[in-house]
Amino acid sequence: MKTSPSSRRGRASREADRLVELAEGLAQSGSRAEDHFWESRLDGEIDALLQNNDEGSLNAALDRLADRESRAYEELADAIEGRVEHVLVRSSDGQRDVLLFAAPVLAWSRMPLPTRVLGTKITEEIRQALKAHVFADDTDVVVADYFFSPDQLPESFGETAEFRTSLMSHLSDGRLPVDTGSLNETAQFLADQRYILGVVAGPAGKALFKWQEGMVNREEVHAAWNQAVEKSLGELLPACGFEPMLPRAYYVACRDADRAARPFSISASVAFLCTTLSITPNNLVATIAGCYNRQLEEYRIGFQVADEEEVIHGIVWPLLGAEDEMSDVIEEVETVLKDSGLVRIEVLRQRMPMEYCDDCGAPLYPNTEGEMVHAELPETGEPSGAHLH
C-alpha cells in the first residue's frame, strides 16, 4: 500500500529525530566505551535508511544539526559518509573491508577538458599502478572504466552507496563498465577536476593503504603514484597540464580536490593568460572581492592587463568547510597570486553582490574600480571556450 506524502514526511521526521539524538549523544560522549555505544546504534540507523533509500531523513537530520552549529553535525556527517563508502563483507577468505576510493586529477587546458571512457588498456594500467604503489599488498582493486567530471559523480548518499555496490560486484574482474548514457553533462572550465573511482578490498582490520604498513609515508606514495600514472594520464589528457592527487577514501579525496583546485585554478589562469596574450605575470593585475548573499559566499578574482580597463578573465574561489569572512582566505589568495608572479593585487573591502550575466549566466568579476563586470578576452587573444573555475 502506498503511503501519502504527509505520512512519509511524518516518518522522515521521526527518523531524523532519532539520528539527531544519537549524533548528539556521540558528540557529548566522554569515553571510548560510550563512543562505541553511540556509534554502533548510529551506524545501524544509517544502514537501515540507506537500505530503504530514505535520503530525506539523512538530509533532514544534517540540516537540523547544521542550524544548531553543533559538533554533532560533524559526527553525523562522518558517520553517514563512513557507512556509504565503507562496508564489512563476508567472503570465503573471512571478513573483508571494502572501501570506495577516488583518485582526483587537477587539469587545465585551452581546449575543453575530456570526460571519457578509460578503455581496457588504461583501466588496467591504472589498476596495476594502484596495486603497486597505493594499496597494501594483500588487497584487491576494481576501477570504474570512466574519467569522471565533478558533475558526473554520484549526487546523493544512496547513489554513492549503490555505485560502491556495483564496483564490489566486479572485484574479480578488476574493471567496472560504466553506462555513459546515464551520466550528466559536464560544465566546461579552463581548470577543473577529473576523477578515477574504484573500490579496494582487504582482510578486515588490516592495512588498506601502503602508508598504513609503516614502510613508506603518504608523500612517498603520492610521488610513486604520480610517476606511475604520468603516461596513462597523458593519454587521457592530451595538450593539458595536469596534477594527480593522492588516492584516498572517496569523500576525503573529493574534499582534498575541491580545496586544491582553488590555488591550481589561479596558477592555470596565469599560465593561460600569459601564453595567450604573450605577456609576463607582472603585466597582470588581480582584483579580489568578497561576494555576499546573506553572508560571504565566495571570493571572485578579476584579471586585467596593467593600464587596461577591461577584465579579461575571472576565477571563483568558493568558501569551503568552516571558512567565513574571519578566516585568512584573502591572505591565502594573495599568496597564491604572488607565487604565480603577480605584483599588483587589489583587494576590495566593500561587500560585493553575487552577480551573474543576464545573457550567458557567467559570474561577473571585480575590476580595480570596484565594479562587477563581464570578463572578456581581447580580440587578439584566443577564446578559451570556458570561464575559469
Residue 280: CB atoms within 10 A of its CB come to: 10
Can you say whether residue 278 is alpha, beta or left, with left for phi > 0 and alpha for psi between -120 and 50 degrees? left
The per-residue pLDDT of the chain, averaged, comes to: 92
Torsions phi, psi for 106 (to 5 deg) = -85, 135
Contacts of 249 (CB under 8 A, 6+ apart): 85, 86, 99, 100, 101, 102
Residue 296: what residue type? L
Q: In angstroms, rounded to a whole number, what is the distance separating the alpha carbons of residues 142 and 175?
A: 5
Asked whether the predicted pLDDT for residue 270 surpasses 90, the reply is yes
Select from 167, 134, 388 the least CA-distant residue to 263.
Answer: 388
pLDDT at 68: 83
Q: How many residues does the chain have?
A: 389
Partners of 287 in beta bridges: 302, 346
Residue 68: what residue type? R
Give the pLDDT confidence of 45-92 residue by residue, as tens digits: 999 999 999 999 999 999 999 888 779 999 999 999 999 999 999 887
Asked whether the predicted pLDDT for residue 389 surpasses 70, the reply is no
Band the pLDDT of 123: cuts 50, 70, 90: very high
Over residues 256-261, mean pLDDT: 96
Q: Where are the alpha helices (DSSP H) in the chain?
A: 5-27, 32-51, 55-68, 71-85, 120-133, 157-168, 218-236, 250-277, 329-339
Band the pLDDT of 380: cuts 50, 70, 90: low
Asked whether the predicted pLDDT for residue 179 surpasses 50, the reply is yes
Of 89-103, 119-133, 161-175, 195-209, which gets the smallest average pLDDT? 89-103
**Domain boundaries, given as residue ranges, for the chain:** 5-85, 92-258, 279-373
Q: In angstroms, rounded to a whole number, what is the distance separating the alpha carbons of residues 308 and 376?
A: 12
* 235-261 burial: b if 16+ Cβ within 10 Å, else e: ebbeebebbbbbbbbbbebbebbeeeb
Asked whether the predicted pLDDT for residue 7 surpasses 60, the reply is no
Q: Which long-range contacts (CB under 8 A, 24 or more apart) does 258-262 make?
A: 258/193, 258/318, 258/320, 259/320, 260/104, 260/106, 261/106, 261/191, 261/192, 261/193, 261/389, 262/317, 262/318, 262/336
pLDDT at 91: 82
Contacts of 15 (CB under 8 A, 6+ apart): 45, 49, 54, 57, 61
Record the pTM.
0.90
Asked whether the predicted pLDDT for residue 4 surpasses 80, the reply is no
* 290-299 burial: b if 16+ Cβ within 10 Å, else e: bbeeeebebb
Sign of the Cα torsion 359, 365, 370, 373 reads negative
pLDDT at 387: 42
Residue 332: what residue type? E
Asked whether the predicted pLDDT for residue 383 surpasses 50, the reply is no
Q: In angstroms, rounded to a whole number, what is the distance separating the alpha carbons of residues 373 and 314?
A: 10
Q: Is residue 16 classed as helix, strand or coil in its secondary structure?
A: helix
Grid cell, residue 123, equals 583501466
Give the pLDDT confidence of 217-235 residue by residue, as tens digits: 999 999 999 999 999 999 9
Give the pLDDT confidence of 326-359 residue by residue, as tens digits: 999 999 999 999 999 999 999 999 999 999 988 8
pLDDT at 12: 55
Sign of the Cα torsion 156, 162, 168, 173 reads negative
Asked whether the predicted pLDDT for residue 183 surpasses 80, the reply is yes
Q: In angstroms, rounded to a whole number, what is the distance separating the alpha carbons of residues 260 and 256?
A: 6
The two beta strands, 311-318 and 296-305, are antiparallel
